[in-house]
Structure 1
Amino acid sequence: MNYTDAWYGNWRHVFKLDPDKEITDEALEAVCMSGTDAIIIGGSSGVTFENTVDLMARVRRYALDCVLEVSTMDGAVPGFDGYFVPIVLNTSRAEWINGKQTEGLKEYGTFVPWELTAAQGYIILNGEATAARISGADAALDAEDVVAHVRMASRLMRLPVIYIEYSGMFGDMNVLEAARGALDGDSRLFYGGGIDNAEKAAQAARHADTVVVGNVVYTDLAAALATVAAVREVQSAKA
């Protein structure tokens, strides 16, 4: 399959919102009307059915894709435009590779909208991040290690999305560039982590298919909004 044709295949910039964090109606409107391609709802902790439904309903007022990253069965909510199922590639804990996923499918597999569901192969590279601590990710990887993981995920496992995640810090763009070079042409490369201004967004956009902007929404809304145009400019130059 050419994943460029998938429901997420044309995304260049997305905002990721955490159901466990507060966002005002005014800030949410600015984010949803910014020109971003989609809103991903998801978080590493504190995600519940109730706060996920609430945030989805608020985003639904706007005409853009709203998708769920299913990190816990407590937050598995129907009615999204799409679903991402994370698989942590750089952990030795099997429950984060296929354990929790198969547990969820035993309970909800009959109801999964498969045409709107895609696996994300996460490579978590900030050892201090909540996601790294919870999953036991080995974040002490160099570029050669990351390339090996990307080749495994993209060329052997044929995962549709490879997600380079530095959650909470801005990553090494040389590593991201190496990941880009190792990718099979059908997989999409997402980058997230530490993007708190337009310049960092532009740097990531030079290598990633999709740039994910998260925490800065809650700390500096103006800077978050500026990342949309920065990614668009880089992507236009690449086209």
Structure 2
Amino acid sequence: MKEMIPSWRHVFKLDPEKEIDDNTLDAICMSGTDAIVVGGSTGVTYENTVDLLSRVRRYELPCVQEVSDLEAVVPGFDLYLVPMVLNTPDPTWIMGRHHEGIERYGYMIPWDLVVSEGYIVLNEDAAVAKLTGAETSIEASSVVAYAQIADKLMNLPILYLEYSGSFGDMEIVRSVRRSVEHTRLFYGGGITNAEQAAAAASVSDTIVVGNIVYDNLQQALETVKVLKDLDAFS
């Protein structure tokens, strides 16, 4: 499944803590998106993750879990994305939780399905920023430096620029994309319409669309369509 990551242009991220009715889930999974990521910063449990996985499994598209809580890791996903927050002074979110998880569960980890991702969190109001103590008020040059650490030193397959809750600075995203060679650049945060989706997709490899799914389904679906149209003419 790892070789599928480079082909993803559009991903919907669903939060197990949030309610989503069957009709909405059907529209999302049949939209033409490349994958469904299941995950959230808070309120993620084994029970609500199992429930969402079982519902998504009715559809033929990759379903991956972004691991945020050791107690909520559920067998049966196609991939497991393991985030490392690069711009936090707290080592808990860079290696601490990871060490704890491997020490406890290393014997049962399906390593061939595990993909590490470097997070750079850039919205101070985002739940993940508050949880991890990420230093969000940093210059573009600092963001690029973190990106190069992920790409050059850590050889991470995914670098995720996280603006969760607000639409980010596309010039910073563009600078990051120019600075990396090997890592795949994911952008997530504040994509609420087709125009923003197109703008983010033009400066990243993969866009992640989340909150708008719960606020305006039609606009969420349009983020898929605009990428299909753009890529058809590229």
Instruction: Please give the range of the TM-score, normalised by the shorter of the 2 chains.
Output: over 0.9
CA contact (8 A) 1:216 1:223 kept: yes
Partner SS for 2:81: strand
Using the size of structure 1 for normalisation, the TM-score is 0.96
CA contact (8 A) 1:206 1:234 kept: no
- How do residues 145-224 of structure 1 correspond to structure 2 at under 5 angstroms? 145-184=142-181, 186-224=182-220
- Deviation, 1:91, is 0.2
* Residues in 1 aligned to 2:157 and 2:122: alpha-carbon distance in whole angstroms: 20
Task: Give the direction of change, closer, same or farther, for the CA distance of 1:167–1:231 in structure 2 (3 Å limit).
Answer: same
CA contact (8 A) 1:126 1:167 kept: yes
- Deviation, 1:22, is 0.2
The number of residue pairs the alignment matches comes to 234
Partner SS for 1:6: helix
Which residue among 29, 38, 43 is the counterpart of 1:41? 38
For 2:187, the aligned partner's letter is Y
CA contact (8 A) 2:150 2:183 kept: no
Task: Give the direction of change, closer, same or farther, for the CA distance of 1:235–1:143 in structure 2 (3 Å limit).
Answer: farther
- How do residues 120-159 of structure 1 correspond to structure 2 at under 5 angstroms? 120-159=117-156
Q: 1:231: which partner in 2?
A: 227
Cα shift readout 1:97-151 (whole Å, capped 9, x = no counterpart) = 0000110111111111111110010000000000000000000022111110101
Identity %: 53
Using the size of structure 2 for normalisation, the TM-score is 0.98
* Residues in 1 aligned to 2:111 and 2:230: alpha-carbon distance in whole angstroms: 32
Q: Which runs of 5+ in 1 are unaligned?
A: none
Cα shift readout 1:18-52 (whole Å, capped 9, x = no counterpart) = 00000000000000000000000000000000000
For 1:213, the aligned partner's letter is V
- How do residues 46-57 of structure 1 correspond to structure 2 at under 5 angstroms? 46-57=43-54
Partner SS for 1:169: coil
Across the aligned residues of Structure 1 and Structure 2, the Cα RMSD in angstroms comes to 1.2
CA contact (8 A) 1:142 1:175 kept: no
Task: Give the direction of change, closer, same or farther, for the CA distance of 1:218–1:163 in structure 2 (3 Å limit).
Answer: same
- How do residues 20-169 of structure 1 correspond to structure 2 at under 5 angstroms? 20-169=17-166
* Residues in 1 aligned to 2:122 and 2:142: alpha-carbon distance in whole angstroms: 11
Cα shift readout 1:135-174 (whole Å, capped 9, x = no counterpart) = 0000002211111010111111111100000000000000
Q: Which runs of 5+ in 2 are unaligned?
A: none
Cα shift readout 1:47-106 (whole Å, capped 9, x = no counterpart) = 000000000000000000000000001211111000000000000000000000110111
